[in-house]
Amino acid sequence: MKNYIKADEWNIIEEGFDPHLNKVSESLFSIGNGRMGQRANFEESYSGETLQGNYVAGVYYPDKTRVGWWKNGYPEYFAKVLNAANWIGIDISIESEVLDLFTCKVTAFKRVLDMQQGTLSRTFTAELNSGKIVQVEAIRFCSIAEDELAALRYKITAVNFEGSIAITSFVDGDVKNQDANYDEKFWNEVKQEQVNDTDYLVLRTKKTEFDVCTASHTTIVYNSETQNLKPVSKEKYVGQTAAIYLKQGTAVDIYKVAANLSSQNYSKEELLAAAKAKMERAVAKGFDQLLKAQIDAWAAKWQESDMVIEGDVKAQQAIRFNIFQLNQTYTGKDARLNIGPKGFTGEKYGGSTYWDTEAYCIPFYLSTAPQEVAENLLVYRYKQLDKAIENAKKLGFNNGAALYPMVTMNGEECHNEWEITFEEIHRNGAIAFAIFNYIRYTGKENYLAQYGLEVLIGIARFWKQRVNWSVDKQKYVMLGVTGPNEYENNINNNWYTNKLAAWCLRYTIEAAAVVKTQDPEKYKAILEKTNFKEEQEFSDWTAVADQMYYPYDEKEQVFLQQDGFMDKEQILVKDLPATERPLNQKWSWDRILRSCYIKQADVLQGMYFFEDEFDQETLKRNYNFYESRTVHESSLSPCVHSILAAKLSDEEKAYEFYLRTARLDLDDYNNDTEDGLHITSMAGTWMSIVEGFAGMRVRNGQLNFRPFLPKAWNSFSFNIGFRGAQLNVHITASQIKIVNNADQALEISIFNQPYTVPNGEKVITYNEQLV
């Protein structure tokens, strides 16, 4: 746990430079715009510990799989988002001495991520070994207004000397992924060009052959005069240099306007020309105008998604940080893109798509962005249906059964640990649940005819084939699976997976009925396309759903996570010495697997998805049982426990779990922020407040609230969009105020009492009775 980030409502602030924290800060201060992003590496050279990271969304490399013992069915490669060309580079050398914060004496260091405006800035004073002191002010951003653009301004002042300063502003494509399996470089150079102080570097990924053109225009101004620049270049590297004689107390300003264009959006032949046109327009606008557009675009984003917490600055900072990073990672403009668990902040998890998107991120984007954004996330899976069918086929399934990958970039499975790749199949259910969730929220039932039903049919066929009839139990069972709790592998009858599978089968039948009634033509076309035997398949699915086996413990009266769970030694987490945790760092894997400790919500994840099926008593028994055995060693876990605790009116616990997710990265809770941020769990933090504290649900097409105010806060409020209305929900200890900007009134319910919210605002006071 760390505590060096200064509390502030809109900014993430680091004061003072500690090289030991540099990689953590590089993650925390990352910037991005959905199309590209980067870690907060320094512009100037740095010889200390650093993880260099520039990423272009959707551009990946199939790194050849490396495993100890090959299993049939493993994918050949793991698709990784690549560390791409570094466009921020500025080498500074003062009378031949390199400016490098690792070798200088650094004072007055301050790094600020301004979340309101979407900028990263840094100021510092550095004393070189020669005693020369310089002061630097730098600011940069990845433009969310025009997502192929980025810009920076870097100002350097000679504090106590006069002398010559050599500046090289460059684009460097000779970069590596630290997680390369075979220490290979993934880029080849296609071409480079340097015109009018602008550098263009076109690189091509090996194997996947994505071309990316990274361009940068440099302007250096001293004494109000733009300096002449000299191009420099070598393989995979292009830059501009200038040598300036700096008088004491004066400063030189360096401006870079940059672009990343990829062959995903342009033909390879047109790429360079498109980059030139883009750069010409961007350079004409200049840094200040691009910055203004950035500030305006972020103001609009905050209008949709801001959350205000009064009375607790650290909580306010944390929730804005979570929302900011989610908005930096995914903007929903492109249905080919998705949300990697680390976004653009690190290499871990390959930048690829996990079930995290459907189970955790969808609710956030549904409420805080235009409808198309969440829809694009669903369409992403629709477009990969063929690959999911192929994936299932490789594992021996047939008849159009679809198994979506555990980890993917392009629809193909990348993951290669058998107990996850082959067995953590609950991911399929989350994809079906997201379709249901999307329709529940938006009311857009025709999504089923458009895309949803085909996906559901593939998923339902998979579940049907994945179960088998147990003569012994006279039930359908599902053997050899891994549930969300990855601290158990290759188990039989994971309650969550069985529950989800049965639900998928029933929901697909319901969805088919909707399409059949609403769009019979399309229904017919889908039946033909999927070669669907309506009567037979529906009856098979119903049989499985009706006769699914669910492990249950009569003594504890709880749903059992899996067969045999009670054979384990039941020592609760509270009786585990703190020195033994986190288990995944202190215990052997073998010991973890044999223990009763649960990595993340599993049975409780199911109770969260299907909450209306359970009464409070059942929820409480299961919550108490599983919470006392859960170590929350996945960042995705505490938010689900927080929401359920809120539902059980255990406000203290709900708040405690919320705190664990909200500042997970800011306080480096798990000592792993240096690898990158936990982007997908950030959506869980948002859910803890909206679904937990505000108790927001959509039932029968209406918003329901069941709010409470955490003791530490004076009030909280959030913006959401719902079926064409933009709402602000403000909650205090005794009141909920809803501002509705739509012309038509909105029917809602608070503690199950119906209310009408007209255009304008409605204040509802709730008292003990209502609660």
Task: Give the residue numbers marked as catalytic.
Answer: 486
DSSP calls for 424-480: -THHHHHHHHHHHHHHHHH--THHIIIIIHHHHHHHHHHHHHH-EEETTTTEEE--S
Tokens representing residue 755 in the block: 């209310």
Minimal distance in Å, beta carbon 637 to ligand BGC? 8
Beta-sheet strand order (sheet of 230-234): 97-98, 90-94, 163-172, 237-246, 230-234
Minimal distance in Å, beta carbon 207 to ligand BGC? 25
Residues that bind ligand BGC (CB under 6 A): 341, 349, 354-356, 484, 486, 599-600, 634, 636, 680
Helix pair angle (385-394, 453-466), 10° resolution: 10
Tokens representing residue 301 in the block: 């984003």
| Residue of 718, 747, 735 lying closest to 303 (CA atoms) | 718
Q: How far apart are CA 298 and CA 301, in angstroms?
A: 5
| Residue of 113, 105, 110 lying closest to 122 (CA atoms) | 110
Q: Which residues of 707-737 are buried (b: 16+ CB within 10 A; e: fewer)?
A: bbbbeebeebbbbbbbbebebbbbbbeeebb
Q: Which CB atom, from 599 or from 629, has the smaller least distance to ligand BGC?
A: 599
Place of tokens 């969260």: 608
Minimal distance in Å, beta carbon 643 to ligand BGC? 17
Q: How far apart are CA 316 and CA 116, in angstroms?
A: 13
Minimal distance in Å, beta carbon 599 to ligand BGC? 6
Q: How far apart are CA 214 and CA 730, in angstroms?
A: 44
Q: Which CB atom, from 341 or from 638, has the smaller least distance to ligand BGC?
A: 341
Q: Which CB atom, from 306 or from 358, has the smaller least distance to ligand BGC?
A: 358
Q: Which CB atom, from 231 or from 582, has the smaller least distance to ligand BGC?
A: 582
Which amino acid would we find at residue 544?
V
| Residue of 726, 738, 745, 747 lying closest to 694 (CA atoms) | 738
Q: How far apart are CA 73 and CA 95, in angstroms?
A: 59
Minimal distance in Å, beta carbon 341 to ligand BGC? 4
Minimal distance in Å, beta carbon 755 to ligand BGC? 38
Q: Which residues of 333-367 are buried (b: 16+ CB within 10 A; e: fewer)?
A: ebbebbbbbbbbbbbebbbbbbbbbbbbbbbbbbb
Q: Which CB atom, from 486 or from 650, has the smaller least distance to ligand BGC?
A: 486
Handedness of CA 655, 657, 663, 669 (dihedral sign): positive
Helical spans, DSSP H, in 648-748: 651-662, 679-687
Q: How far apart are CA 723 and CA 442, in angstroms?
A: 6
Tokens representing residue 628 in the block: 């006392």
Q: Which CB atom, from 111 or from 426, has the smaller least distance to ligand BGC?
A: 426
Which amino acid would we find at residue 108?
A
Tokens representing residue 668 in the block: 């480096």
Minimal distance in Å, beta carbon 579 to ligand BGC? 22
Minimal distance in Å, beta carbon 690 to ligand BGC? 21
Pairing status of strand 702-705 against strand 746-750:
parallel
Q: Which CB atom, from 486 or from 674, has the smaller least distance to ligand BGC?
A: 486
* 3-class secondary-structure state, position 760: strand
Minimal distance in Å, beta carbon 339 to ligand BGC? 10
Q: How far apart are CA 536 and CA 376, in angstroms?
A: 33
In this structure, what are the phi and psi dihedrals at residue 451, rounded to the nearest 5 degrees? -140, -40
Q: Which CB atom, from 218 or from 325, has the smaller least distance to ligand BGC?
A: 325
Stated as kind and residue range, the H or E segment containing 204 is strand 198-205
User: Please, which residues bridge with residue 477 across strands?
Assistant: 468
Q: How far apart are CA 187 and CA 24, in angstroms?
A: 27
DSSP calls for 328-373: HH--SS-TT----TTTTS-SGGGG-B-THIIIIIHHHHHHHS-HHH
Residues present in the chain in total: 771
Q: In the bound complex, which residue of the shown chain has the CB atom lying closest to ligand BGC?
A: 341
Plot region of 237 (φ>0 → left; ψ -120 to 50 → alpha; else → beta): beta
Q: Which CB atom, from 50 or from 584, has the smaller least distance to ligand BGC?
A: 584
Place of tokens 């969304």: 57
300: Cβ–Cβ under 8 A, 6 or more apart, which residues? none
Minimal distance in Å, beta carbon 246 to ligand BGC? 48
Q: Which CB atom, from 35 or from 599, has the smaller least distance to ligand BGC?
A: 599
Q: Which CB atom, from 187 or from 360, has the smaller least distance to ligand BGC?
A: 360
Minimal distance in Å, beta carbon 582 to ligand BGC? 12
CA 678 to centroid of chain Cα atoms = 7
CA 44 to centroid of chain Cα atoms = 29
Q: How far apart are CA 498 and CA 493, in angstroms?
A: 6
Residue 72 per-residue DSSP state: T
Minimal distance in Å, beta carbon 680 to ligand BGC? 5
Minimal distance in Å, beta carbon 272 to ligand BGC? 37
Q: Which CB atom, from 22 or from 485, has the smaller least distance to ligand BGC?
A: 485
Q: Which CB atom, from 466 or from 599, has the smaller least distance to ligand BGC?
A: 599
Instruction: Answer whether 217's CB lies under 8 Å from 198's CB.
Output: yes
Whole-angstrom Cα Rg for the chain: 27
